[in-house]
A = this chain, B = another copy of it.
Amino acid sequence: MQLLKDKIRTDAKIVENRIIQVDNFLNHQLDITLFNEIGKEFKRRFSSKEVTKIVTIETSGIAIACIAAQYFNNVPVVFAKKHAGLNMNQDVYEAKVYSYTKDQEYTIKISKEFLCPNDKVLIIDDFLASGSALMGLISLLSQSGAEISGAGIVIEKTFQEGRKLIQEKGIQLESLAIIDSIRDGQVFFK
């Protein structure tokens, strides 16, 4: 997706040839016009799939998933919680996820009432790197018996192992910008 790649080239901050900081448009300040283009592109790539629900994970995934849902007949969005409040229903599906950007392990949760075997779920998230968050979501969905229609990712770091893990599950994986390498503070796309 050219618009996204251009945005990464002009606006991302590269730290230590390893970290792509996109706080300017994706993770802290959110570019709603870009998110609409992202939503349209997900629809195009998953146009052959039935989608009854979009599932994502706190925090940045939520914004992208909500805008994208508008291109999938306004299907409901359910987000896995990393920081469940005291009021949360205790009858949940849960999985462990390790966050490298926070150096912390989370238990992610979705209330059982919001996933059922009839659901055909599109997973959406901002980043794919190690694949830990995505594998956690896939575990929650498998526990519920819901069908997985696909996984849509905004930015993938293909030099980490995430893609392999997802594809081994036979899931259609679509990443809108695939980063092949980072050298001398510059991003190279696949």
Contacts and interface: CB of A to CB of B under 8 A. Distances in A.
B85 A101 contact: yes
A92 to B, nearest CB: 10
Nearest to A89: B23
Interface in A69-100: 69-70, 74-79, 81-83, 85-89, 99
Contacts of A4: none
Contacts of A52: none
Interface in A1-44: 15, 19, 21, 23-24, 28-33, 35-36
A163 to B, nearest CB: 22
Contacts of A139: none
B87 A103 contact: no
A79 B60 CA distance: 10
Contacts of A101: 85-87
A119 to B, nearest CB: 11
A79 B32 CA distance: 13
A180 interface: no
Contacts of A36: 70, 74
A172 interface: no
Given A23-B89, A59-B59, A63-B62, A81 B32 contact: no
A35 B66 contact: yes
Given A58-B59, A67-B66, A111-B23, A30 B76 contact: yes
A77 B15 contact: no
Contacts of A15: 87
Given A23-B89, A85-B101, A86-B102, 14 more contacts: A23-B88, A23-B114, A24-B114, A28-B78, A28-B114, A30-B78, A32-B75, A32-B77, A35-B66, A36-B74, A58-B58, A59-B62, A59-B79, A86-B101
